[in-house]
C-alpha cells in the first residue's frame, strides 16, 4: 500500500531496521486533538528486573545493528553503496542474481560458467545466483544483461532484520506489555481471538521451535538456507516477531500474543547474524504463499529495489496474501524495500507516549503505525526479551490482519488492508501524514468494521475451549 510509484535509487542495497537510529529530523508527536483521550495513560514499560517466574533480557537492538553494519563494512566480499550518511546498501561482491526468460540448457549453462569463471550457487524456478572467482558484480551484470535469454540481472542484495479478555500471562498482568492496551487489544478479543485455520508466516531468522510460549502455536515451516533442517532460530529476531503475533495467551506464563489461536509458519531466510539476501527472502515469500500463508510478515529490508524481491511480493499479493513490512530504523525518508512497494502494508513505530519513535523511517510510503519501543516478547533459547524497532511494529499489524481474516475468512487481501487503514486512531497531523500514515492501528475499531462471513467457519466456542486446555 506504499504510495511511492516510481523509484530512482543508486545501485545498492540493505535495510538495517534493527540498526542505527539517527536524529537528523525532529520527530513528530501525537496530535493535540488526541492528547486527552487517555489512550496512552498506561504505566510506562517496566522492562528491567523481571525475576519472579520469568526472566527477561533487555537488548539494545539499535546498537546491535550498528555492530552488524560495521562488520559488513569490514568484509571485503561485501560492497557498500551509500545513499546518504545512514542509508547504506550492501550486496555480495562477485555474485549476481539472474532471471532467465527460459531455463538455460546444460551446454548453454556451462558456457556461461566458463565465461564468468564461476559457478551457479543457487537456483529457483528461472532464477540462478552466479558467483565468479575473478569478475566483479558489475562485470557480471554487464555480461548477463546483454544476453537475449536473460530477463534481468541484478546484485545479490543483502537484507537485514528491522529491529530496532484479560489474559493471565505473567508479564501481561504486571503491565510490561504496554503495547497491547494502547491499540485496544482486549476490546478486540471480545470480537475474535483468532482462528487456527488462519496462518501467519514469519519470514525471518526462524523461530525457537521449543519455546514454551510458542511450540503449540507453530505449524509446518521451511528453512530456505538449509532445506533439510528445521527453521529453528539461531538469532532471536524471528522468535521475537513470532511472539508478538501469537505467543500462547492465557497460559500463566510469559507474554500474551495479539492472537490466541492463529498459527505461525516459520520460514528461515536470514542467518545467525541477522541478514540474508534478496534471492533467499524471495524464495521464502513464495514458499509461504504456496503452502497456505494468509498473512506474511517481513521485518527486514533494503534501500535498493530488487526485481527478484518485487516479483515475489507481486506473486504473494496476486494470490490473496496480506503482506506487512517494517518501515526501517534510520530516521530517514529514503524509501526502503519491500516497504515501499504498493502491494504491502508499511508500518512505522511509536513509543509508549504516542510519539513517533526517534529511529522510525517516514515518508509517503508509510501506511500505518504500531508500537515499536521496548516491546517484550519471546526470544530464542526459551528466553524473553525487550526489543525496539520497526521490526517490532510490523508484527502487530500482521496479527491484526490475522484476526480480521479469522473474523471473516472470505475477505480479500485488499479489503483487509483497507479495514486496517480505516480503523486507525489518528496521530500527528489530522488525516494522513508521512510519520504515522493513517494513524495508530486499533484492534477493536478494525474488527468492528468486519462484515460477518457468508458461511460460519470461524472457530467455535468448543474449539477454543479445547485449544485453551490442550484437549486433543
Average pLDDT over residues 404-427: 98
Number of domains in the chain: 2
273 and 328 together in one domain: yes
The pLDDT assigned to 85 comes to: 37
Same domain for 111 and 172: no
Are both 278 and 423 inside the same structural domain? yes
Check whether 266 has a pLDDT greater than 90: yes
Single out the catalytic residue among 90, 237, 240, 396: 237
- Average pLDDT in the 424-438 region? 97
Check whether residue 326 and residue 220 sit in a common domain. Answer: yes
Give the bridge partners for 81, in sequence order. 89
On the question of pLDDT at 324 being above 90, the answer is yes
Q: Are 226 and 259 in contact (CB under 8 A)?
A: no
Is residue 404 domain-shared with residue 424, that is, in the same domain?
yes
Give ∠ CA 412-415-421 in degrees, rounded to 5: 145
Find the range with the poorest average confidence among 3-12, 179-188, 225-234. Answer: 3-12
Domain that holds residue 49: 32-62+162-448
Same-domain pairing of 170 and 101 = no
Single out the residue in 142, 160, 178 at which a domain terminates.
160
> Average pLDDT of 189-195?
96
Is residue 58 left, alpha or beta, with left meaning phi > 0 and alpha meaning psi from -120 to 50? beta
Q: Is 460 inside any structural domain? A: no
**89 and 37 share one domain:** no
**Residues above pLDDT 70, as percent of the chain:** 74
Q: Is 391 annotated as catalytic? A: yes
- Quick one: 169 and 313 in the same domain? yes
Choice among 57-66, 118-127, 242-251, 337-346 with the minimum mean pLDDT: 57-66
Q: CA dist 88 to 61, 141, 155, 303, 434, Å?
A: 18, 21, 15, 7, 22
Q: Which of 25-29, 127-131, 170-174 has the lowest mean pLDDT?
A: 25-29
| The predicted structure's pLDDT at residue 75 | 62
What CATH number has the domain bearing residue 142? 3.30.70.80
Within this chain, do residues 300 and 366 fall inside the same structural domain, yes or no?
A: yes
Least confident span in 5-19, 195-209, 277-291, 385-399: 5-19
Greater pLDDT, 4 or 40:
40
Which of the residues 170, 391, 406, 421 is marked catalytic? 391
Residues 151 and 179 in one domain: no
Question: Which member of 87, 204, 213, 330 is catalytic?
Answer: 204
Residue 414 lies in a domain: yes
Residue 4 clears pLDDT 60, i.e. is over it: no
Single out the residue in 160, 181, 209 at which a domain terminates.
160
284 falls within a domain: yes
Q: Which residue has the higher pLDDT, 30 or 192?
A: 192
Q: What is the mean pLDDT of the chain?
A: 82
Residues 50 and 139 in one domain: no
Q: Please identify, among 160, 176, 207, the residue that sits at the C-terminal boundary of a domain.
A: 160
Q: How confident is the model at residue 252 (pLDDT cuts 50, 70, 90)?
A: confident
Whether 454 is covered by a domain: the verdict is no
Q: For the chain, what percent of residues have pLDDT higher than 90?
A: 65
In CATH, what number is assigned to the domain containing residue 395? 3.40.50.200
pLDDT at 65: 61
Is 464 among the domain residues? Answer: no
**Would you say residue 151 lies in a domain?**
yes
Amino acid at each position: 500500500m506504499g504510495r511511492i510509484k516510481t523509484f530512482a535509487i543508486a545501485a545498492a542495497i540493505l535495510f538495517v531496521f534493527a540498526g542505527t537510529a539517527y536524529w537528523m529530523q525532529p520527530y513528530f508527536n501525537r496530535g493535540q486533538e488526541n492528547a486527552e483521550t487517555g489512550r496512552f495513560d498506561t504505566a510506562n514499560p517496566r522492562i528491567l528486573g523481571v525475576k519472579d517466574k520469568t526472566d527477561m533480557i533487555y537488548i539494545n537492538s539499535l546498537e546491535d545493528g550498528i555492530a552488524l553494519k560495521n562488520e559488513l563494512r569490514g568484509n571485503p566480499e561485501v560492497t557498500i553503496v551509500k545513499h546518504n550518511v545512514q542509508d547504506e546498501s550492501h550486496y555480495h561482491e562477485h555474485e549476481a542474481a539472474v532471471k532467465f526468460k527460459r531455463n538455460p540448457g546444460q551446454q548453454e549453462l556451462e558456457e556461461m560458467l566458463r565465461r564468468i569463471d564461476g559457478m551457479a550457487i543457487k537456483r529457483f524456478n528461472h532464477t540462478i545466483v552466479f558467483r565468479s572467482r575473478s569478475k566483479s558484480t558489475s562485470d557480471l551484470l554487464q555480461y548477463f544483461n546483454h544476453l537475449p535469454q536473460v530477463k534481468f540481472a541484478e546484485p545479490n542484495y543483502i537484507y537485514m532484520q528491522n529491529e530496532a479478555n484479560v489474559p493471565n500471562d505473567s508479564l501481561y498482568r504486571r503491565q510490561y506489555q504496554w503495547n497491547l492496551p494502547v491499540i485496544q487489544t482486549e476490546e478486540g478479543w471480545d470480537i475474535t481471538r483468532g482462528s487456527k485455520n488462519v496462518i501467519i508466516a514469519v519470514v525471518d531468522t526462524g523461530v525457537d521451535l521449543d519455546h514454551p510460549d510458542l511450540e503449540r502455536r507453530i505449524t509446518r515451516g521451511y528453512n530456505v538456507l538449509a532445506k533439510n533442517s528445521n527453521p529453528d532460530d539461531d538469532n532471536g529476531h524471528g522468535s521475537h516477531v513470532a511472539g508478538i503475533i501469537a505467543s500462547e495467551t492465557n497460559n500463566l506464563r510469559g507474554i500474551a500474543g495479539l492472537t490466541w489461536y492463529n498459527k505461525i509458519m516459520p520460514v528461515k531466510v536470514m542467518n545467525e547474524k541477522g541478514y540474508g539476501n534478496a534471492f533467499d527472502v524471495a524464495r521464502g515469500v513464495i514458499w509461504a504463499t504456496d503452502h497456505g500463508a494468509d498473512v506474511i510478515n517481513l521485518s527486514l529490508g533494503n534501500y535498493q529495489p530488487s526485481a527478484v524481491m518485487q516479483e515475489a511480493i507481486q506473486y504473494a499479493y496476486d494470490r490473496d496474501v496480506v503482506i506487512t513490512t517494517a518501515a526501517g530504523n534510520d530516521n530517514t525518508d529514503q524509501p526502503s524495500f519491500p516497504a515501499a512497494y504498493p502491494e504491502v502494508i508499511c508500518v512505522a513505530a511509536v513509543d509508549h507516549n504516542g510519539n513517533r519513535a526517534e529511529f522510525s523511517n517516514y515518508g509517503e510510503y508509510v501506511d500505518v503505525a504500531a508500537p515499536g519501543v521496548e516491546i517484550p516478547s519471546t526470544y530464542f533459547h526459551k528466553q524473553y526479551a525487550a526489543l525496539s524497532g520497526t521490526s517490532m511494529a510490523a508484527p502487530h499489524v500482521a496479527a491484526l490482519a490475522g484476526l480480521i481474516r479469522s473474523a471473516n475468512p472470505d475477505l480479500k487481501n485488499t479489503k483487509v488492508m483497507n479495514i486496517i487503514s480505516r480503523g486507525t486512531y489518528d496521530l500527528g497531523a489530522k488525516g494522513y501524514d508521512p510519520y504515522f500514515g493513517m494513524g495508530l492501528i486499533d484492534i477493536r475499531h478494525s474488527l468492528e468494521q468486519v462484515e460477518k462471513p457468508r458461511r460460519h467457519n470461524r472457530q467455535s466456542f468448543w474449539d477454543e475451549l479445547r485449544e485453551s486446555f490442550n484437549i486433543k
